[in-house]
Structure 1
């Protein structure tokens, strides 16, 4: 169990580190682009690509972190309409199940896209950077989201079935 806990915390550390690095890189690139383009009036090709790649990693790893924290956006209007708590809990479990199915499907799709990218080696226009780096962010981020959504589904299902209490966390 200690090894699993260490892996869990290391994974969280890597996500946070990735978010800090990609957000910082994006900010620096945008500032440099503004200074170089508008104040020095010098064209600097390729900075836009770097900004886009760092933004894509930020979006997908940020989405995974939101799924981990359970702070992701939810459009569960049925929970507000249904009066009974038991029914609301079951609707939440159903919504969790649908979310897991969609996230797993998207993860499979992005894995196939990533494999295609590795096989054909498409490159960016200006920097000629391999695009599989950006495509990998989609697979990694959605894979982590699917994983966290599955944990949330199991947790909510166990609570609805009475196997786990809300304070068991």
Structure 2
């Protein structure tokens, strides 16, 4: 398990660095676009497509990091009202199972979109950047979401059975 943890840490470090760089780029590019358009009356052509591509990767990598840290939005209302640890663990497990199923669908759908974009050869209007580059962010994020959901499922099942073994 230590081997997987090290790989996960390296991947997380790369994703965090990419999110930082992409966030800075999107922020800077938006300021440049606004200043050039509003103050200089000279729009920067193609800037919007670069920002869109960067924003797609920024958002999707951010979602993958949130899934890794299990800090994504969740409706844990049963845990807020119940002090029954077994009930809380079971509801957490059900939510994780649903997350795995939905993440698997997301992988399938994003792969279909990516492969369709790759086959079609669509490109952006100004720089002719292939559309599958931004569509690839959905595929990469969905794979990470699935991997982290499976990891959470294994942990939740282990936690549930560990609690039951202790109580017997």
Name the TM-score, length of structure 1 as normaliser.
Answer: 0.89
Question: Would the aligned equivalents of 1:19 and 1:58 in 2 still touch at CA under 8 Å?
Answer: yes
Distance (whole Å) between structure 2 residues aligned to residue 2 and residue 149 of structure 1: 19
**What corresponds to 1:113 in structure 2?**
113
**What corresponds to 2:60 in structure 1?**
60
Question: Residues 88 and 58 (structure 1 numbering): CA distance in 2 closer, same or farther, change over 3 Å?
Answer: same
In structure 2, the gaps of 5 or more residues are none
How many aligned positions are there?
Answer: 165
Question: Residues 72 and 164 (structure 1 numbering): CA distance in 2 closer, same or farther, change over 3 Å?
Answer: farther
Distance (whole Å) between structure 2 residues aligned to residue 163 and residue 90 of structure 1: 11
Q: How does 1:98-109 map to 2 (within 5 A)?
A: 98-109=98-109
- Helix, strand or coil: the match of 2:80? helix
Distance (whole Å) between structure 1 residues aligned to residue 108 and residue 57 of structure 2: 18
Q: How does 1:34-73 map to 2 (within 5 A)?
A: 34-73=34-73
- Helix, strand or coil: the match of 2:36? helix
Shift of 1:81: 4.2
Name the TM-score, length of structure 2 as normaliser.
Answer: 0.89
**What corresponds to 1:134 in structure 2?**
134
| CA RMSD, 1 decimal | 2.0
In structure 1, the gaps of 5 or more residues are none
